[in-house]
């Protein structure tokens, strides 16, 4: 295989959780552009249908499936994986991207809010990894790419986000632990830790001093990242070009964590 071929995903099936918008959608598009057939998993069929239609227009000839799935429910993940396998075949690459963010001071956080954050951002990654990983282990091949965050490595400023930070730190350790356990089964598990990326997740801050002073000002490259810049890293990590990479978290933050 030539070097450029090893970066492609031809013939692979890629499943992306939270694929209907934002970084997940960009990952789906980059995967399709790299030759993969792609399944979008998200909470609502209507947004999945709209995303799939857009994707088919943006990547003509691509095969795109959709599947409703709530990653915070083990039952939902099991059902989604079963239905997807019937229509789509085995999944070669799972991208655990679905996630939420919430800024609440620790002393004011309701227990239910803490639980929900951990349930979606951390338990959801474990549920999907276990359910899809079981089939990968049987096949003795596959890769799982988890979307963590630089917030799993540092405490961001100025927003208080203890539950988010903890959930993403958990994703980074989950990645290492699964990578070690599943390496003998031919399954690689890796993560990406993005910095500030312009999506609806941080829309409420656009045009504010917080964004300009702390987030962009704190980024050596002097700007926020784009979903495509995360997606390209994901495609690399999912591909054979990264065949000796497992357990690693690749930081894509414009240098934010350097300062």
Ligand X SMILES: NC(=O)c1ccc[n+]([C@@H]2O[C@H](COP(=O)([O-])OP(=O)(O)OC[C@H]3O[C@@H](n4cnc5c(N)ncnc54)[C@H](O)[C@@H]3O)[C@@H](O)[C@H]2O)c1
Out of 29, 30, 42, 248, the only residue in the binding site for ligand X (CB under 6 A) is 42
Out of 99, 133, 170, 254, the only residue in the binding site for ligand X (CB under 6 A) is 99
Q: How far is the CB of 6 from ligand X (least distance, A)?
A: 26
Q: How far is the CB of 14 from ligand X (least distance, A)?
A: 16
Closer to ligand X by CB, 104 or 137: give it: 104
Answer yes or no whether residue 235 interacts with ligand X by CB under 6 A: no
Out of 142, 160, 170, 194, the only residue in the binding site for ligand X (CB under 6 A) is 194
Q: How far is the CB of 1 from ligand X (least distance, A)?
A: 30
Answer yes or no whether residue 18 interacts with ligand X by CB under 6 A: yes
CA separation for the pair 202, 60 (Å, rounded): 30
Whether residue 214 lies in the annotated active site: no
Place of tokens 């784009």: 226
CA separation for the pair 77, 144 (Å, rounded): 15
Place of tokens 């091949």: 141
User: Which of the residues 68 through 97 are near ligand X (CB under 6 A)?
Assistant: 69-72, 97
Answer yes or no whether residue 65 interacts with ligand X by CB under 6 A: no
Answer yes or no whether residue 120 interacts with ligand X by CB under 6 A: yes
25, 127, 164, 196: the active-site residue? 164
Closest CA to 145 of 173, 175, 169: 175
Q: How far is the CB of 251 from ligand X (least distance, A)?
A: 10
The pair of three-digit structure tokens given for residue 244, joined into one six-digit string:
């000796």
Answer yes or no whether residue 24 interacts with ligand X by CB under 6 A: yes
Answer yes or no whether residue 98 interacts with ligand X by CB under 6 A: yes
Answer yes or no whether residue 218 interacts with ligand X by CB under 6 A: no
**Active centre residues (catalytic):** 164
- Which residues of this protein are in contact with ligand X, per CB under 6 A? 17-18, 20-24, 42-43, 69-72, 97-101, 120, 124, 147, 149, 194, 196-197, 199-202
């Amino acid at each position: 295989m030539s070097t450029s071929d090893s970066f492609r995903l031809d013939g692979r099936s890629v499943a992306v959780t939270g694929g209907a918008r934002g970084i997940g959608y960009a990952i789906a598009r980059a995967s399709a552009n790299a030759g993969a057939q792609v399944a979008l998993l998200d909470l609502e069929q209507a947004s999945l249908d709209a995303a799939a239609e857009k994707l088919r227009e943006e990547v003509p000839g691509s095969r795109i499936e959709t599947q409703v799935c709530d990653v915070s429910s083990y039952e939902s993940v099991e059902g989604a994986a079963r239905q997807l396998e019937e229509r789509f075949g085995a999944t070669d690459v799972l991208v655990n991207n679905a996630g939420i963010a919430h800024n609440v001071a620790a002393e004011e956080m309701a227990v239910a809010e803490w639980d929900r954050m951990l349930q979606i951002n951390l338990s959801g990654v474990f549920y999907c990894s276990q359910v899809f990983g079981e089939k990968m282990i049987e096949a003795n091949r596959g890769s799982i790419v988890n979307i963590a965050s630089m917030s799993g490595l540092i405490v961001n400023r100025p927003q208080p986000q203890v539950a988010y930070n903890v959930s993403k730190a958990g994703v980074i350790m989950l990645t290492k632990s699964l990578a070690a356990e599943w390496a003998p089964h031919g399954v690689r598990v890796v993560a990406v830790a993005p910095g500030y990326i312009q999506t609806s997740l941080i829309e409420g801050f656009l045009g504010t001093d917080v964004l300009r002073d702390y987030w962009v000002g704190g980024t050596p490259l002097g700007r926020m990242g784009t979903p495509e810049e995360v997606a390209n890293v994901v495609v690399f990590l999912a591909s054979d070009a990264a065949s000796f990479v497992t357990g690693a978290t690749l930081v894509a933050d414009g240098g934010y964590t350097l300062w």
